Amino acid sequence: MAFLLLGLMACDNDDPEPVNEEELITTVRVTFTPSGGGSAIVATFQDLDGEGGNAPVITNPTLAANTTYSVSVEFLNESETPTEDITEEVEEEAEEHQVFFVAASGLNFTYAYNDEDGNGKPLGLMGTATTGDASNGTLTVLLIHEPNKSASGVSAGDPTNAGGEEDVRVNFSATIQ
Protein backbone atom coordinates (compact mmCIF):
# COMPACT_ATOMS: atom_id res chain seq x y z
CA MET A 1 0.00 0.00 0.00
CA ALA A 2 2.86 2.37 0.84
CA PHE A 3 4.46 1.76 -2.59
CA LEU A 4 1.15 2.56 -4.34
CA LEU A 5 0.77 5.80 -2.37
CA LEU A 6 4.40 6.75 -3.12
CA GLY A 7 3.84 6.01 -6.83
CA LEU A 8 0.72 8.19 -6.96
CA MET A 9 2.55 11.06 -5.27
CA ALA A 10 5.39 10.80 -7.80
CA CYS A 11 2.97 11.21 -10.73
CA ASP A 12 2.50 14.94 -10.26
CA ASN A 13 0.92 17.25 -12.86
CA ASP A 14 3.43 19.94 -11.90
CA ASP A 15 6.16 18.23 -13.94
CA PRO A 16 7.85 20.73 -16.24
CA GLU A 17 6.95 20.68 -19.92
CA PRO A 18 9.62 19.23 -22.20
CA VAL A 19 12.03 21.83 -23.55
CA ASN A 20 12.44 22.19 -27.31
CA GLU A 21 15.87 20.59 -27.42
CA GLU A 22 18.49 22.19 -29.65
CA GLU A 23 19.24 20.13 -32.75
CA LEU A 24 22.76 19.17 -33.75
CA ILE A 25 23.67 20.97 -36.97
CA THR A 26 26.68 19.32 -38.55
CA THR A 27 26.37 20.85 -42.02
CA VAL A 28 25.47 24.26 -43.41
CA ARG A 29 25.13 24.51 -47.18
CA VAL A 30 24.63 27.88 -48.91
CA THR A 31 23.89 27.77 -52.65
CA PHE A 32 24.41 30.87 -54.78
CA THR A 33 22.76 30.62 -58.23
CA PRO A 34 23.58 33.45 -60.67
CA SER A 35 20.40 35.23 -61.82
CA GLY A 36 21.67 35.52 -65.40
CA GLY A 37 22.39 31.79 -65.68
CA GLY A 38 25.51 29.79 -65.06
CA SER A 39 26.68 27.25 -62.53
CA ALA A 40 25.68 27.42 -58.90
CA ILE A 41 28.36 28.10 -56.31
CA VAL A 42 28.03 26.09 -53.11
CA ALA A 43 29.64 27.14 -49.83
CA THR A 44 29.67 24.40 -47.18
CA PHE A 45 30.56 23.95 -43.55
CA GLN A 46 30.69 20.36 -42.33
CA ASP A 47 31.62 19.22 -38.83
CA LEU A 48 30.38 15.64 -38.53
CA ASP A 49 31.66 15.14 -34.97
CA GLY A 50 30.20 18.42 -33.66
CA GLU A 51 32.13 20.92 -31.55
CA GLY A 52 35.59 19.80 -30.53
CA GLY A 53 37.29 16.79 -32.04
CA ASN A 54 38.13 17.12 -35.73
CA ALA A 55 38.23 20.52 -37.38
CA PRO A 56 35.30 21.34 -39.69
CA VAL A 57 35.68 21.07 -43.45
CA ILE A 58 34.82 24.40 -45.07
CA THR A 59 34.34 25.18 -48.76
CA ASN A 60 34.46 28.95 -49.14
CA PRO A 61 32.53 30.79 -51.86
CA THR A 62 34.13 32.63 -54.77
CA LEU A 63 31.50 34.88 -56.32
CA ALA A 64 31.56 37.03 -59.46
CA ALA A 65 31.75 40.79 -59.03
CA ASN A 66 28.70 42.94 -59.78
CA THR A 67 26.36 39.95 -59.92
CA THR A 68 22.99 39.05 -58.43
CA TYR A 69 22.46 35.56 -57.00
CA SER A 70 19.46 33.61 -55.76
CA VAL A 71 20.47 32.15 -52.41
CA SER A 72 19.19 29.10 -50.53
CA VAL A 73 20.41 27.76 -47.18
CA GLU A 74 20.24 24.22 -45.82
CA PHE A 75 20.93 22.98 -42.30
CA LEU A 76 21.59 19.25 -41.84
CA ASN A 77 22.46 16.75 -39.13
CA GLU A 78 24.58 14.23 -41.02
CA SER A 79 25.57 12.37 -37.85
CA GLU A 80 22.25 10.49 -38.13
CA THR A 81 21.24 7.85 -40.66
CA PRO A 82 19.33 8.86 -42.63
CA THR A 83 20.49 12.49 -42.60
CA GLU A 84 18.13 14.76 -40.67
CA ASP A 85 17.11 17.88 -42.60
CA ILE A 86 17.01 20.59 -39.91
CA THR A 87 15.92 23.09 -42.60
CA GLU A 88 12.42 21.56 -42.45
CA GLU A 89 12.20 22.27 -38.71
CA VAL A 90 13.42 25.86 -39.24
CA GLU A 91 10.67 26.33 -41.86
CA GLU A 92 8.00 24.79 -39.61
CA GLU A 93 9.07 27.01 -36.71
CA ALA A 94 9.70 30.10 -38.87
CA GLU A 95 8.43 32.53 -36.21
CA GLU A 96 11.15 31.18 -33.88
CA HIS A 97 14.10 31.40 -36.31
CA GLN A 98 15.96 33.83 -38.54
CA VAL A 99 19.01 33.40 -40.76
CA PHE A 100 21.42 36.33 -41.00
CA PHE A 101 24.13 37.04 -43.57
CA VAL A 102 26.72 39.43 -42.16
CA ALA A 103 29.44 40.70 -44.49
CA ALA A 104 32.58 42.05 -42.85
CA SER A 105 33.42 45.62 -43.75
CA GLY A 106 35.19 45.70 -47.07
CA LEU A 107 33.30 42.69 -48.48
CA ASN A 108 31.04 44.07 -51.23
CA PHE A 109 28.06 41.81 -50.49
CA THR A 110 24.44 42.51 -49.57
CA TYR A 111 21.62 40.10 -48.79
CA ALA A 112 17.85 40.64 -49.10
CA TYR A 113 15.22 38.27 -47.69
CA ASN A 114 12.86 36.49 -50.10
CA ASP A 115 10.90 34.52 -47.50
CA GLU A 116 9.06 35.30 -44.30
CA ASP A 117 7.32 33.73 -41.34
CA GLY A 118 3.57 33.71 -40.71
CA ASN A 119 3.81 37.19 -39.17
CA GLY A 120 5.43 38.76 -42.24
CA LYS A 121 8.89 38.89 -40.60
CA PRO A 122 12.00 37.64 -42.45
CA LEU A 123 13.18 34.03 -42.23
CA GLY A 124 16.25 33.95 -44.50
CA LEU A 125 16.35 30.43 -45.95
CA MET A 126 15.85 32.03 -49.39
CA GLY A 127 17.07 35.40 -50.54
CA THR A 128 18.94 37.48 -53.05
CA ALA A 129 22.63 38.33 -52.77
CA THR A 130 24.19 41.17 -54.70
CA THR A 131 27.93 41.56 -55.09
CA GLY A 132 29.81 44.75 -55.87
CA ASP A 133 33.37 45.24 -57.03
CA ALA A 134 36.11 42.69 -56.31
CA SER A 135 36.80 42.22 -52.60
CA ASN A 136 37.63 39.66 -49.91
CA GLY A 137 36.37 39.18 -46.39
CA THR A 138 34.39 37.18 -43.91
CA LEU A 139 30.79 36.29 -44.68
CA THR A 140 29.07 35.06 -41.52
CA VAL A 141 25.94 32.91 -41.81
CA LEU A 142 24.08 32.81 -38.54
CA LEU A 143 20.91 30.96 -37.49
CA ILE A 144 19.27 32.43 -34.38
CA HIS A 145 16.55 30.64 -32.41
CA GLU A 146 13.87 32.87 -30.86
CA PRO A 147 15.20 36.23 -32.08
CA ASN A 148 13.31 39.42 -31.31
CA LYS A 149 12.26 40.06 -34.91
CA SER A 150 10.70 43.40 -33.92
CA ALA A 151 13.94 44.79 -32.47
CA SER A 152 15.71 47.63 -34.27
CA GLY A 153 17.48 46.50 -37.46
CA VAL A 154 16.61 42.80 -37.16
CA SER A 155 14.14 42.77 -40.07
CA ALA A 156 16.82 44.42 -42.20
CA GLY A 157 19.23 41.57 -41.42
CA ASP A 158 21.26 43.05 -38.56
CA PRO A 159 21.57 40.49 -35.72
CA THR A 160 22.97 43.03 -33.22
CA ASN A 161 19.66 43.48 -31.34
CA ALA A 162 18.17 40.07 -32.18
CA GLY A 163 18.80 38.40 -28.84
CA GLY A 164 17.76 34.76 -28.85
CA GLU A 165 20.19 31.88 -29.01
CA GLU A 166 22.63 30.98 -31.78
CA ASP A 167 21.86 27.58 -33.28
CA VAL A 168 24.88 27.82 -35.58
CA ARG A 169 27.42 30.42 -36.74
CA VAL A 170 29.67 29.83 -39.74
CA ASN A 171 32.39 32.19 -40.92
CA PHE A 172 33.19 31.78 -44.61
CA SER A 173 36.20 33.44 -46.24
CA ALA A 174 34.44 34.92 -49.24
CA THR A 175 36.10 36.14 -52.42
CA ILE A 176 34.42 38.40 -54.95
CA GLN A 177 36.36 38.60 -58.20
Residue 15 lies in a domain: no
Residue 105 lies in a domain: yes
What pLDDT was estimated at residue 127?
Answer: 98
Residue 57 lies in a domain: yes
Q: What values do phi and psi take at 176, rounded to 5? A: -115, 120
Residue 137 lies in a domain: yes
Burial 112-136 (b: 16+ CB within 10 A, else e): ebeebbeeebbbbbebebebeeebe
What tens digit of pLDDT does each residue of 79-128 get? 999 999 999 999 999 999 999 999 999 999 999 999 999 999 999 999 99
What pLDDT was estimated at residue 1?
Answer: 40
Does residue 102 contact residue 144 with C-beta atoms inside 8 Å? Answer: no
Query: Which residues constitute the domain of residue 110?
Result: 24-176
Residue 89 lies in a domain: yes
Residue 127 lies in a domain: yes
Between 171 and 19, residue with greater pLDDT: 171
Report how far apart the first and last C-alpha atoms of the chain are (Å, whole number): 79
What tens digit of pLDDT does each residue of 41-85 get? 999 999 998 788 899 999 999 999 999 999 999 999 999 999 999
CA 106 from chain center: how many Å? 23
What pLDDT was estimated at residue 9?
Answer: 43
Q: How many domains, the chain? A: 1
Residue 160 lies in a domain: yes
Assess whether pLDDT exceeds 70 at residue 4.
no
pLDDT band for position 15 (cuts 50, 70, 90):
very low
3-state DSSP percent of the chain in helix, strand and coil, to 5: 15, 40, 45
Mean pLDDT of 130-152: 97
Residue 32 lies in a domain: yes
Tell me the one-letter amino acid at 140: T
Tell me, yes or no, if the pTM score tops 0.85: yes
